[in-house]
Amino acid sequence: MNVLVPEIPPDYDEYRAQLRAFIAARKPTLKGKQRSGLRVPDDADDVAALRAWVRALHDAGYRLARFSLEELDPYEQRILKHEVAAAGIPVVLGNPLVSGALKAFGTPDQQQRYLPPMSRGDHIWTQLFSEPNAGSDLSSLQTSAKLHGDTYVVNGQKVWSTWAQWSDYGYLLARTEPIAGPGGISAFVLDMRTQGVDVRPLREMTGTTDFNEVFLDDVRIPVENLIGVAGQGWVAAQTSLLTERESVGALSHGGKENGLVSLARHHRRRGRVALSDDSVRQAIGAFEARKRIGAALGHRVATKAAQRSTDVWDAPLTKIWFSELNLAIAEYALELQGPRGALVEGDPEAWDDGSWQDRFLYARALTIAGGSNEIMRNMIAERGLGLPKEPRGAATSS
C-alpha cells in the first residue's frame, strides 16, 4: 500500500501564520514547570489559565475534529496540531476519551451537551476505567451500577484516573448486567460533583500528581447519563480506547531531534566529548532511525484510516513502538550523563534541571497507558494474526 501524506498546499501558509501569531499573543505563562508526557497541573491558577487558553482557541475558530460532528479541513487540523504541539501548551484538557464514545453511541442531546464545552475547555473530563484488580483486563472490573427506578446507584473504586482532581465529568464503566465478562458492562457520564464521589490524588515517584484514585459510595447517576444502551459499555470503551492508543503513538511524530545530540555535546566519556565517540553517534543515529520508522508507521495508519481500511493491530503497533522507543531514549540519556544521571530536579549540578531524569521516571507509564504493551502484543497476535490465545490461569476460590 502506498503511504500518502500529501504536502500542505501553499494556500494554507496564511492560516499557519495567523495561528502562530494568535499563539504568540495568547499563550499562557504557567506557574508549574512544563514536563514531557501527559502531565497534570498541580496549581488551580494554572488550570484556570489553561481553560482560558483553550476557550480562546475555540472561540477564534481553532477547533479539533475529535470534538466535532462535522468534517473539518484536514490540512488545517494538521497545522493546528503541529503548531500547538510546538508551543508546548496543552490544547486538550483532561482525558477526553469519551468524545469518541459520544460521537459513536451518544444521543443527539448528549453530543450537543458535552462535546462543544469539552472543545472549549469549559468541561474537563477524566477516565474512570481501571480498578485495583482490573487494569488492562477491564472485562474483570467490579464497580457496580444497580438500577433503582430512573437512577443507577454506583459503588466501587477506580484508579489511575488522570485529571480527576480537576475534572467536571467522568467517563465511567460499571457493571450493570448479571452477566460475567464484558457483556455486563455499561458506560456512563458521571458528574464529578455528585455526592459520594471521593477523589484522592496519588503522588508518584516523579513528584507530581498526574493520577488519582476515585471512590464511589452510593453515587446516583440518572438513567439519561447512560452512553448507548445497558451492556454496551465494552463496545463503547473499545471504540474510544483506539483514540487513546493512537494519541500515545502520535507523540512520536514531532519533527524535533530527540535531544541526545545536545546532551552528548555537553558530557564527556573517557576524557573526551561524548559525541566524538563513534559508538555514541551510532546509538543516537539508531534512535533517530527508529523515530523515523515510528513516524512512517503513523503515516501509514493515517493513510489506511483515510481509506477506511484499518486493521486491529494499527493503533497497538504504533503505541508499542513509540512508548518503548521513548523509554529507551530516556535510559540512554541517563547513561550518557554518567554519575550525574542520578541527580534530579532542584540539584544545581543536574543537567537541564533534571528534565531527562523526570522523562525517564515517567516514560514507563506510557508503556502502560491505554493498555499495557503486553496486552497490546496479545491483541496483535490473537485478533490481528489469528494466533492461539494465550493460556489464562483458572480462577480459584477459597
Nearest-CA neighbor of 226 among 157, 327, 285, 152? 152
Cβ atoms 66, 391 nearer than 8 A: no
Residue 306 pLDDT level (bands cut at 50, 70, 90):
low
List all residues 6 or more positions away from 193 whose beta carbon is below 8 Å from its beta carbon: 168
Helix (H) or strand (E) holding 200: strand 197-202
Q: Give percent above pLDDT 70 in the chain.
A: 91
- Whether 254 has a pLDDT exceeding 70, the answer reads no
Instruction: Choose the weakest-confidence range: 176-190, 276-290, 305-319, 370-384.
Output: 305-319
Higher pLDDT, 252 or 116: 116
Q: Which pLDDT tens digit goes with each residue over 355-393?
A: 999 999 999 988 987 778 998 898 889 888 899 987 765
What are the residue ranges of CATH 1.20.140.10 in the chain?
A: 255-384
Q: Architecture of 255-384 per CATH?
A: Up-down Bundle (1.20)
Amino acid 396: pLDDT: 44
Checking DSSP bridges between strand 144-148 and strand 185-191, what pairing results, if any? Answer: unpaired
Q: Which three cell numbers stand for residue 121?
A: 475547555
Amino acid 253: pLDDT: 44
d(CA 53, CA 27): 7
Q: What is the pTM of this model?
A: 0.83
Amino acid 370: pLDDT: 73
Would you say domain 125-231 falls under CATH 2.40.110.10? yes
Q: Which pLDDT tens digit goes with each residue over 39-75?
A: 899 999 999 999 999 999 999 999 999 999 999 998 9
Rounded to an integer, the average pLDDT of 289-297 is 90
Amino acid 324: pLDDT: 95
Look at the alpha carbons of 201, 347, 351, 342 in this order and tell me if their dihedral is positive or negative: negative
Q: What does CATH list as the number for 10-120?
A: 1.10.540
What are the residue ranges of CATH 1.10.540 in the chain?
A: 10-120
d(CA 324, CA 369): 12
- Whether 256 has a pLDDT exceeding 50, the answer reads no
What are the residue ranges of CATH 2.40.110.10 in the chain?
A: 125-231
Q: Which pLDDT tens digit goes with each residue over 76-133?
A: 998 999 999 888 888 899 999 999 999 999 999 999 999 999 999 999 999 999 999 8
